[in-house]
Amino acid sequence: MAETPKAPAETIAEKLLPFALPDVGSAEARAMTRSLRSGWLTSGPEVKAFESEFATLTGAREAIAVNSCTAALHLALAAWDIGADDAVLVPDLTFVASAEVITYSGALPIVLDVNRADYLLDGETVERFLKEQCDTSGAHPVHRASKKTVRAIIPVHYGGRPCDLDQLSEIAKRHKLKLLEDAAHAFPTYYAGRILGTHSDATAFSFYATKNLTTGEGGMLTTDDSEFADRVRRMRLHGIRGQTYGRQRWQYDVVDQGFKYNMMDPCAAIGRVQLKRTAETLEKRKLIHAAYDRAFARLQGVRLTPRTPHESAFHLYTIELGPGARLSRDEFVDEMYRRGIAVSLHFIPIHRLTYYRDAYGLSAQQFPNAEEIFQRICSLPIYSALKMRNVRHVIEAVRELLG
Ligand SMILES: Cc1ncc(COP(=O)(O)O)c(C=O)c1O
């Protein structure tokens, strides 16, 4: 009799402890199968229900499901008509998607350094940029060098730890800028005791395979502005008035510029199960985070994940290897792989990516904080599907190498 093939996850884990694995089980499989058999493969009742449940959980008036966080970010900028005459502020220490979406409509990404202590974009940096490099006498700030109008800020909640939204919101309001949170890592993050999703003009979440809540590929945009949400809904599906689900017969009209960004029903079906498991999966990541914090507290020259005054979603566990550490970051990563443990790096800063460096004239000197963080940082496995015996294995390896 043929051997039962192993699930890909087991096959990988035997060779190398993966850096990340989705935590999907039989409940997600059943929900997806039910959805597949329902006849709705594209956006249908599951998407509608997922949006409604996500809106309820976050308290947002509107939740719009799309096929990635990248799509959610792009749609928000597009629905605000941010285009070729405009500029948008984005931190250097992020995944390329946060900057890339700004370029889709020809707007200028203005990349700012992050705070050395917590790796986040802070209000002082934004304020300094506006004061020193912009003319702020008109309705919106105008970037002197490029003559572009600064229209929005995209703060990134790196690792699930929130930026100072009070400070950024105040600056955004004062300068008539839209605040679009990149919350790809930040579900569920609690800022001032309230879950993210309603703290700014719009919040974009990622449900990519490695994220805290996954639908395989997927994303969600939340907002309290219903008019803006209507436009985002239209634009995610070709600019068509009235969506596939609920459309009458053959009639349709295109009333806006559109994109093809809608979420599939089977993905939403997975997402609905994952949403119910939010507390359980958060608890597990929290447990791993605390175990790492305890185990690594005394390592020489090693800086652990910065603390936040707010409640993190514990998406990443980073360590920085300073000059006093026993190994350099690169030596450490090599040794971890040799011990069968995958380690990752968040992020190669935007200024180091060839396209952005060349197209926008970026260099390391402009971003001393992100550059130094990049030289020293790496991320250890932290995900709800990680077994505690594997957590112990990671701890032993790290202590052996850096203790
Ligand atoms: C900070 C950040 N923003 C945006 C994204 C894009 O998310 P998605 O893959 O869902 O488009 C990612 C993905 O890893 C990310 O890390």
Q: Which amino acid is at 91?
A: P
The pLDDT of residue 7 is above 80: no
User: What integer pLDDT is reported at residue 251 of this predicted model?
Assistant: 82
- Report percent pLDDT > 90 for the chain: 93
User: If you write DSSP's letter for every residue of 59-95 in order, what string do you get?
Assistant: T-SEEEEES-HHHHHHHHHHHTT--TTEEEEEESSS-
Residue 349 confidence (pLDDT): 98
| Predicted local distance difference test score (pLDDT) of residue 188 | 98
Angle, in degrees to the nearest 10, between helices 265-276 and 26-37: 150
E strands, 101-249, in order: 108-112, 134-135, 142-143, 149-153, 178-183, 190-191, 194-195, 202-206, 219-223, 240-241
pLDDT tens-place string over residues 278-320: 999 999 999 999 999 999 999 999 999 999 899 999 999 999 9
How far is 258 from 228, CA to CA, in rounded Å? 14
Q: What pLDDT score was predicted for residue 84?
A: 98
pLDDT on residue 14: 59
Which of 74, 88, 206, 379 is the pocket-test mutation for ligand 1 (most atoms within 8 Å of CB)? 206
Each residue's pLDDT tens digit, 183-203: 999 999 999 999 999 999 999
> Quick check: 16 pLDDT over 80?
yes
Give pLDDT, residue 76.
Answer: 98
Distance (Å, whole) CA 291 – CA 295: 6
Band (pLDDT 50/70/90 cuts) for residue 15 is confident
Q: Output the CA angle 317-159-401, nearest 5 degrees.
A: 20
Which of helix, strand or coil describes residue 318?
strand
Per cent of the chain over pLDDT 70 is 95
Task: Tell me the average pLDDT across 356-377.
Answer: 98
pLDDT at 246: 61
- Lowest mean per-residue pLDDT among 248-262, 276-290, 384-398: 248-262
Question: Given a cut of 50, is residue 1 above it in pLDDT?
Answer: no
Contact residues of ligand 1, CB 6 A cut-off: 68-70, 94-95, 97-98, 156, 182, 184-185, 206, 208, 219
Q: What is the mean pLDDT of the chain?
A: 95
Predicted confidence band of residue 252 (pLDDT cuts 50, 70, 90): confident
pLDDT at 242: 73
Q: What is the pLDDT of residue 26?
A: 97
Average pLDDT over residues 169-188: 98
What is the whole-number distance in angstroms between the Cα of residue 95 and the centre of ligand 1? 6
Domain with CATH 3.40.640.10 in the chain: 26-276
Superfamily classification of domain 278-402: Aspartate Aminotransferase, domain 1 (3.90.1150.10)
What is residue 193's predicted lDDT score, i.e. its pLDDT?
95
Of 205, 208, 316, 345, which is best to mutate to test ligand 1, by the most ligand atoms within 8 angstroms of its C-beta? 208
Q: pLDDT tier at 247 (50, 70, 90 boundaries)?
A: low
CA-CA distance, 381 to 341, in Å (whole number)?
A: 8
Atom of ligand 1 nearest to the CA of 208: 10
Rounded distance from Cα 295 to ligand 1 centre (Å): 30
Band (pLDDT 50/70/90 cuts) for residue 245 is low
What is the pLDDT at residue 244?
59
* Predicted pLDDT at 4: 43
What is the per-residue burial (b if ≥16 Cβ within 10 Å, else e) of 311-339? bbbbbbbbbbbeeebebebeebbebbeeb
Active site positions, annotated:
211
- In this structure, which CATH number among 3.40.640.10, 3.40.50.1000, 3.40.1010.10, 3.30.70.20 belongs to the domain 26-276? 3.40.640.10
